[in-house]
């Protein structure tokens, strides 16, 4: 942001205290609307908060190390959070339309599986607040790109009054289902 470094750091401290973590445990993403995923470890703690990130172009983060807090950013894009309580690993990804059409949610499931032996059937997934079909008007071209790639027949796509709408949370839910996540383990925020 354009705020001072001191104010930003203080905001991280306030947030961290409110949720019961230490701000030096946070690892932030460096989002570029891509499908790259960083495997985070204890040595990454503080990246983007205490010191500049030594990496770029990461829209997903995963870890199995304790006291490593994964932090992604979102405005209208869809933040997705993952946890496998059996294999003790977590992930977070930022799925705007670009990350969604690049299957970032599925790639995050696969990364958790390959890195930590996570089983999609054990994973709990939260699709956090973000833009929904009611408000997400897109171009006809982008609409057709999604419609041609994904053949979901559940209201993920809508044409109304010659305008084209996508439901990114629902599309990502379907992507997660295709990746092996159980329906009852997917929570979609109603915000």
Q: How many beta carbons lie within 10 A of that of residue 56, not counting itself?
A: 12
Burial class (CB in 10 A: 0-12, 13-18, 19+), 104: buried
157 CB neighbour count, 10 Å cutoff: 21
- Whether residue 111 contacts residue 62, with contact meaning beta carbons closer than 8 Å, is answered with yes
The beta-strand segments (E) located in the chain are: 26-28, 37-39, 60-63, 69-71, 78-84, 89-95, 124-127, 137-138, 157-160, 163-166, 186-188
> What pLDDT, on a 0 to 100 scale, did the predictor assign at position 189?
94
Using alpha carbons only, what angle is made at residue 122 by residues 120 and 126, rounded to the nearest 5 degrees? 80
- The number of C-alpha atoms within 13 Å of 31 and in the hemisphere containing its C-beta is 21
Model-level pTM?
0.94
Confidence of residue 28 (pLDDT cuts 50, 70, 90): very high
Q: What is the pLDDT of residue 156?
A: 92
Reported as a single tens digit per residue, the pLDDT across 155-177 is 899 999 999 999 999 999 999 99
The arithmetic mean of pLDDT across residues 110-117, rounded, is 98
Q: Which residue shows structure tokens 């306030």?
A: 14
- Per-residue pLDDT tens for 140-149? 999 999 999 9
Q: Which pLDDT value is given to residue 151?
A: 87
**pLDDT at position 96, please?**
93
Confidence at residue 55, expressed as pLDDT on a 0 to 100 scale: 85
pLDDT for 95: 95
pLDDT-derived band at 152 (thresholds 50, 70, 90) equals confident
Mean residue pLDDT across the chain: 94
């Amino acid at each position: 942001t354009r705020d001072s470094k001191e104010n930003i750091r203080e905001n991280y401290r306030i947030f961290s205290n409110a949720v019961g973590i230490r701000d030096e445990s946070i690892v932030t993403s460096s989002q570029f609307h891509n499908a790259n995923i960083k495997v985070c470890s204890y040595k990454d703690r503080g990246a983007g908060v205490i010191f500049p990130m030594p990496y770029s172009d990461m829209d997903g983060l995963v870890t199995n190390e304790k006291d490593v807090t994964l932090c992604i950013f979102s405005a209208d894009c869809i933040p997705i959070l993952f946890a496998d309580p059996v294999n003790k690993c977590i992930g977070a990804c930022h799925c705007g339309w670009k990350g969604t059409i690049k299957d970032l949610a599925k790639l995050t499931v696969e990364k958790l599986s390959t890195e930590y032996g996570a089983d999609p059937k054990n994973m709990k997934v939260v699709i956090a607040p973000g833009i929904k079909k009611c408000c997400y008007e897109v171009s006809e071209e982008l609409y057709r790109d999604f419609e041609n790639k994904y053949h979901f027949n559940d209201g993920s796509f809508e044409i109304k009054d010659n305008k084209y709408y996508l439901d990114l949370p629902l599309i990502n839910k379907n992507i997660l289902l295709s990746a092996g996540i159980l329906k009852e383990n997917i929570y979609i925020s109603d915000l």
